[in-house]
Amino acid sequence: MKILIVSKMFYHRGGAEVVAIAERDMLRAAGHDVQVYAMHHPENLPLEEAPTWAPEIRFGGSLSGNIKAFERLMGWGDVVSSFHRVLVKAQPDVVHFHNIHSYLSPVVVSLARKFGARTVWTLHDLKLVCPAYLGRRPDGSLCTDCIDGQRNLMKYRCMKGSRFASLMALLEALRWNRRKLSAATDCFIAPSAFMKSMMVRGGFDGSKIQVIHNFIAPEKLRAILSAPEPITEAEPYFAYVGRLSSEKGVKTLVKAAVRAGVALKIGGDGPLLPELQEIAAGSKVEFLGRLDGARVINLLRGAAASVMPSECFENNPLSVIESLCAGTPVIGANIGGIPELIQPGINGEHFPSGSVETLAAKLACFNPEAYDRKEISARAIAEFSESTHLEKLLKIYSLKA
């Protein structure tokens, strides 16, 4: 099968790009002819097809640069000609889109559909129903106004707290409205049932949306399975790995750990670090900084549980999947797609997002001996393996439009 993967960037920038790269590798290993289309960026992986990609644009630079960026936002100019050339050369049976807004624009979906390819689009965030991507206002409060049909971007300055950026996002949403996007897409892939529910709530046809969870890359799985047995700590500890920012709920976690008097090890960096260190002064909270893959695995495997304290609409977080594959139960906030990954008493626990009191109680009384870590790992590996993901993905690719 000839497959064209489209992503606005093609380096390990965030979860969407990690998945796009992993799927490219998976499909090639399975014998398919896979090409990639992205925007030029100095950090992109060096691929043969890179010279044919869309020219790089930047927002917030010179006047001429901003004009080009606006044209890209609207799907005008060089992206149309460059993508058409790629379609003609690659002759794809399927074009699989990941994150494309702003730097490529949804015009590429329309072009692929007109070309006659099957169009598949993975929904890594809420962009198609929330122009600001996250369903979250600048003050940190959750928001579903745009999902429910109310255009309040300008009122709340949802994009970066900027009136201008919010105006650009609004114009983009009006240009690429839900009717156009749905008509151009044969199948949407939602990594979580939560994401599907939000798309349906926003007016998309649920019959065109298939739920396929993210998967754990083979090299990550091999690293987990080959990792040495963790050293038993004098005192059990909980673990958090991720960005230290407000939407991740890490302030709630640190306050809860201090209140419960439990040991907490935090891997990651971010703008909240100084404030978190102040909150944690004199407690059993330890900040480890950024960790490489091997140290993350060791941290998770040695923990009584990992904690996912998010206060935003997470989709299908890879950090939860990796923890479960390592056999470590997860205490997760009941928000977004987190709860559907956790079965209380089986592979972890839920708590109300943002509740310091409830999370502190969960940490204080958590009994790691009540969980079968080998069973947690076996179930997660079966559910989130590359082979399971490939089988589901190829079924979607093979469906007739």
Domains and CATH numbers, the chain: 2-215+385-398 (3.40.50.2000), 218-384 (3.40.50.2000)
Asked if pLDDT for residue 401 goes beyond 50, the answer is no
- Copy the structure tokens of residue 96: 């699989």
Angle in degrees, CA 69, 71, 75, rounded to 5: 115
Distance between CA 243 and CA 80 in Å, rounded? 36
Distance between CA 347 and CA 313 in Å, rounded? 21
The whole-number pLDDT of residue 247 equals: 94
Give how far Cα 171 sits from Cα of 74, 131, 164, 249, Å. 8, 9, 11, 31
Which of the four pLDDT bands, split at 50, 70 and 90, describes residue 282? very high
| pLDDT mean across residues, the chain | 94
Q: Which residue has the tokens 């702003």?
A: 102
The whole-number pLDDT of residue 228 equals: 84
pLDDT digits (tens, 9 = 90+) for 211-261: 999 999 899 899 998 888 887 777 899 999 999 999 999 999 999 999 999
Give how far Cα 34 sits from Cα of 289, 328, 393, Å. 37, 35, 14
What is the 8-class DSSP label of residue 370? G
Asked if pLDDT for residue 14 goes beyond 70, the answer is yes
| Residues 288/302, Cβ–Cβ less than 8 Å | no
Coil, strand or helix: which one is 171?
A: helix
Q: Which helix (H) or strand (E) holds 12?
A: none
Count CB-CB contacts under 10 A for residue 213: 21
Q: What is the mean pLDDT of residues 129-149?
A: 93
Distance between CA 34 and CA 94 in Å, rounded? 10
The whole-number pLDDT of residue 109 equals: 98
| Residues 347/379, Cβ–Cβ less than 8 Å | yes
The whole-number pLDDT of residue 150 equals: 86
pLDDT digits (tens, 9 = 90+) for 19-45: 999 999 999 999 999 999 999 999 999
pTM, entire model? 0.93
Which of the four pLDDT bands, split at 50, 70 and 90, describes residue 124? very high
The whole-number pLDDT of residue 400 equals: 54
Beta bridge partners of 321: none
